[in-house]
Chain A
Amino acid sequence: GAVVSQHPSWVICKSGTSVKIECRSLDFQATTMFWYRQFPKQSLMLMATSNEGSKATYEQGVEKDKFLINHASLTLSTLTVTSAHPEDSSFYICSARGRSMLYGYTFGSGTRLTVV
């Protein structure tokens, strides 16, 4: 089945530094990648949608300069949290959609970011 590999699974960084999270589709071409943020005991909040080769579309209220998304190939999308602050600490999840809706969406395993 379709697999999305997300790395790192957890990261601790100092305030003011940047962190990059990668999502790779291992056995299919991901035409669209979605990035979510999930707070404890809450649902997934869509941050942005990226299509291969084009700029990401950010949801209202999400700072595009803080959360940089790159989707340079059909198998790789990255989310970079720039100048991270403690309030950026959260669980980030990517999801990929292939060319066929047969299996819907495949989610990465998530990244727990802690900014100290």
Chain B
Amino acid sequence: AQTVTQSQPEMSVQEAETVTLSCTYDTSESNYYLFWYKQPPSRQMILVIRQEAYKQQNATENRFSVNFQKAAKSFSLKISDSQLGDTAMYFCAFMAAYSGAGSYQLTFGKGTKLSVIP
């Protein structure tokens, strides 16, 4: 079974500053996907960024980037130039890329509540 750990229940950052959210995971799988999802007060889950484990290059999406350390099983999210609209719960998620029982299920961390302060 996979586990995802987010050790920061809450974080805050000043507007325009940079913040890093941490995530570690445990798995015996060799091929998998990692995701960061954002859940704003509306509670709509929004995909922020995705990383395939077989890709060494860290994924980036505009102001969002990840630091993927496969050997350390670490997948942190960096938000640059933080904006008020970034205020949300952020969930790290893992998905094993295999076909079988329980296939393609997302395993979520407990989340980090990020507040962007004006």
Contact = CB atoms under 8 A, between A and B. Distances in A.
Contacts of A38: 43
B68 interface: no
B19 to A, nearest CB: 20
Q: Which of B91, B102, B105 has the most CB of A within 10 A?
A: B105
A62 B33 CA distance: 26
A61 interface: no
A20 to B, nearest CB: 20
A101 B97 contact: yes
B25 interface: no
B109 to A, nearest CB: 7
B35 A104 contact: yes
B78 interface: no
Contact of A34 (B35, B43, B106): B106
A13 B43 CA distance: 21
Interface stretch (A21-29, A67-75, A80-88, A89-97): A89-97
Interface string A36-59: 001001111010010000000100
A44 B108 contact: yes
A95 to B, nearest CB: 7
A109 interface: yes
A109 to B, nearest CB: 5
Contacts of A109: 42-44
Interface string B27-61: 00000010101000011111100100000000000
Given A42-B110, A43-B91, A43-B111, A107 B105 contact: no
Contacts of A107: 37, 44-46
B45 A104 contact: no
Interface of A: 32, 34, 38, 41-44, 46, 49, 57, 91, 93, 95, 97, 101, 103-105, 107, 109-110
